[in-house]
Amino acid sequence: MTFKHSICHPEKENIEYRDNPISGIEVLKIARNYPWIEKLKLLDTLDQGNVCYNPSLDFTCFENGKSFCLTANTNENQLLEFSLWYNRPKKEKTLFCLISKKEKMVVDEIWSINFDKSLKYLEHFVMGNYTIIEGLYIK
């Protein structure tokens, strides 16, 4: 599978889109080596009105359109943690359940995940182990 990605910077209003195809190994390398702590420190130095985003990386699979986003934050102990956003097709009932289920894209989110677990779920995403990721959101 191949992926594209985007980057949300705390100080930039425009999201940086990188549409050149990258491999799953490159996805993991980008997420692992991204300067999360430095970007969060930058976020803390900005006036509240000048903050555009929390540091985020979003990866989209070219083949199926599913995407997985990591958004950094710090917890009450000032430790790095993430919210994970998974965009996928899901069958949903329509028109008061009178019509059969229709598939549409939905975003599932989960908060307060540490760095290592976040990378592990990203690894499942790039490997196509979607049921493991979807299991996060059932709890």
In DSSP terms, which residues pair with 114 in a beta bridge?
81
The Cα diameter of the chain in Å comes to 53
**pLDDT tens-digit profile of 50-100?**
889 999 999 999 999 999 999 999 988 888 999 999 988 676 666 655 566
Joined together, the tokens standing for residue 54 give 């929390």
Give the strand pairing for 99-114 and 16-23.
Answer: unpaired
pLDDT 10s digits, 108-126: 888 889 999 999 999 999 9
| Residue 136 confidence class, pLDDT cut points 50, 70, 90 | confident
Question: What residues does 72 pair with on adjacent strands?
Answer: 82
Q: Please tell me what DSSP assigns to residue 64.
A: T
Banded pLDDT at 107 (limits 50, 70, 90): confident
CA angle 85, 80, 121 (to 5 degrees): 40
Q: Identify whether the C-beta of residue 53 lies closer than 8 Å to the C-beta of residue 75.
A: no
| Angle, alpha carbons 78-25-37 (nearest 5°) | 15
